[in-house]
Structure 1
Amino acid sequence: MSFADRSDAPIYAGLVEEQGDVPAEVRRVAEQTLLEVDRALDFSSVHAPASFR
């Protein structure tokens, strides 16, 4: 159940109905961005020089 479905938040539910669930969309885009960054910046094969260990 999303927050917008709760009966104790009629103002929020109305805003979601009018504008869409902005927090959920932001969360989805942020998660997608993190996955893309993980793929683009894969440093698993890079090793620190011996002097930094």
Structure 2
Amino acid sequence: MNQPSADRTADTADAPIYSSLIRELGDIPAQVRRTAEQTMEEVDRAVDFSSAGGSLA
């Protein structure tokens, strides 16, 4: 699902414009990815359907 960081580093080395944008603005895709992962972890803790019983079918 997630690309290894070595692949992202290689991609930025091939794209100097992207590298300069990351230096200026920060790595927005990485920040979004971290926020999404944190949100999913919070949802997993808040919504626990394991004790609901019954089947969905």
Shorter chain as denominator, the TM-score bin is: 0.7 to 0.9
Higher RCO structure, 1 or 2 (CA under 8 Å, sep 6+): 1
Which is higher, the Rg of structure 1 or of structure 2? 1
Q: What TM-score do the two structures reach when normalised by structure 2?
A: 0.75
* Long gaps (5+) in structure 2: 1-5
Counterparts of 1:7-46 in structure 2 under 5 Å? Answer: 7-46=13-52
* Matched residues, number: 51
RMSD: 2.1
Q: What TM-score do the two structures reach when normalised by structure 1?
A: 0.80
